[in-house]
Amino acid sequence: MKERNTKIVRIGFINIGNSYPIAIQTMTKTLTKDYKATIKQIKRLEEIGCHIVRVAVPDNESITALKKIIREINVPLVADIHFDYLLAIKAIEAGASKIRINPGNISDKKKIKEILSIAKERNIAIRIGINSGSLEKKIIDKYGQATVEAMVESALNSIKYFEDNDFFNTVISLKANDIRRTVESYRLISSKTNYPLHLGITEAGTAFSGTIKSAIGLGILLYEGIGDTIRVSLSADPEEEVRVGYEILKSLDLYKDAPVVIACPTCSRAEIDVQSIAKEIESKINDMRKSIRIAVMGCVVNGPGEAKEADIGVTGSKGIAIIFKKGRVYKRVLPDEIIETLLEEIKGL
């Protein structure tokens, strides 16, 4: 995997870029002005290890809520702004750690200049969030549609304007709802600038199809050393987005402090109920931030080998289950004792 070589940008207490770990972010799905519900959702996201949370700020009531939310939470908060530049200014004043603006719907240079001025004064980062569905009119007029080149040109225009105004605290995203344009846009922009990149496939879909789409798109880019923070966009709870984000990073070995469950697909040789054991174990330990490898294997064909390589593992064998720990046979238990035994051992690791 290639190394990333980007500028470092600070978002609250989190640094992104260069060799900093890839930060996982999501977006709340409550009404921001309902600050109690939003705080509750963010608290849950904190518990499962979300690094940065973004909230939509569509109106002044959300700005009022923002102040209350920021007081109660422990993760950096990003304000997502469209159309109204004054909301961007107010969100910065309310204490947002970063704001996201879309050049497709805030294009008046004077207004952007005002945003840059206050962001600079308060050392707040800005994400230039390009979206294939909302490119500025003059770019669409030039290219006819939201092509890769159109999206990149839009980003480069904004970067230039930011830099001309002495603003460099910038993160870039170029999201399309298909993998090809997303991958090619990020590849192209990363060859032209070294600002940190926020990766995502926009409107990826439901938990099932959106997870696959995001894993492929983000996986390709991350493997190529492109991307400093990720957001998986799913029509599902934000917790699901964070979990999928972790799975993507874990699969690429970009995040190590998390459990990995190895489970065989099972077949007629299986002597224990691998599917339900693996599912139950995974649901219990998914949110742990500990590097552990757990193997659940149906029989002795591949079972002992996989289980031995794991920190803790189980394999079915002649009506009994063999528990392996750190490469050695540890004990034999009855099939209905497997889950309890594994969870107990995992706790002690």
The residues binding ligand SF4 (CB under 6 A) are 264-267, 269-270, 297-299, 301-303
d(CA 173, CA 188): 12
Shortest distance in whole angstroms from residue 305 CB to ligand SF4 = 9
Q: Which is nearer to ligand SF4, 25 or 266 (CB)?
A: 266
Helix (H) or strand (E) holding 243: helix 238-251
Provide the residue type at 287 as one letter.
D
Beta bridge partners of 23: 229
d(CA 46, CA 302): 38
Q: Which is nearer to ligand SF4, 24 or 338 (CB)?
A: 338
Q: Which is nearer to ligand SF4, 269 or 326 (CB)?
A: 269
Which residue's CB comes closest to ligand SF4? 298
Tokens 């980062």 label which residue?
A: 125
Find the DSSP H helices in 30-178. 35-47, 60-72, 85-94, 109-121, 137-143, 148-164
Shortest distance in whole angstroms from residue 83 CB to ligand SF4 = 54
Shortest distance in whole angstroms from residue 343 CB to ligand SF4 = 21
Shortest distance in whole angstroms from residue 300 CB to ligand SF4 = 7
Q: What is the dihedral of CA 148, 167, 194, 142, to 10 degrees?
A: 20
Q: Which is nearer to ligand SF4, 122 or 269 (CB)?
A: 269
Phi-psi region of 70 (alpha: psi -120 to 50; beta: other; left: phi over 0): alpha
d(CA 61, CA 94): 12
Contact 232, 248 (CB under 8 A): yes
Shortest distance in whole angstroms from residue 251 CB to ligand SF4 = 20
- Please give the structure tokens belonging to residue 118: 């206050």
Q: Which is nearer to ligand SF4, 207 or 333 (CB)?
A: 333
Shortest distance in whole angstroms from residue 247 CB to ligand SF4 = 22
Contact 146, 170 (CB under 8 A): no
Beta bridge partners of 329: 324
Shortest distance in whole angstroms from residue 291 CB to ligand SF4 = 24
Q: Which is nearer to ligand SF4, 204 or 342 (CB)?
A: 342
d(CA 233, CA 214): 8
160 CB contacts (<8 Å, ≥6 apart)?
none
Shortest distance in whole angstroms from residue 314 CB to ligand SF4 = 11
Contact 62, 86 (CB under 8 A): no
CA distance to 16, 112, 128, 246, 314, per residue, from 183 (Å): 20, 28, 17, 20, 40
Q: Which is nearer to ligand SF4, 268 or 283 (CB)?
A: 268
d(CA 69, CA 51): 16
Q: Which is nearer to ligand SF4, 207 or 270 (CB)?
A: 270
Q: Which is nearer to ligand SF4, 144 or 265 (CB)?
A: 265
Shortest distance in whole angstroms from residue 315 CB to ligand SF4 = 7
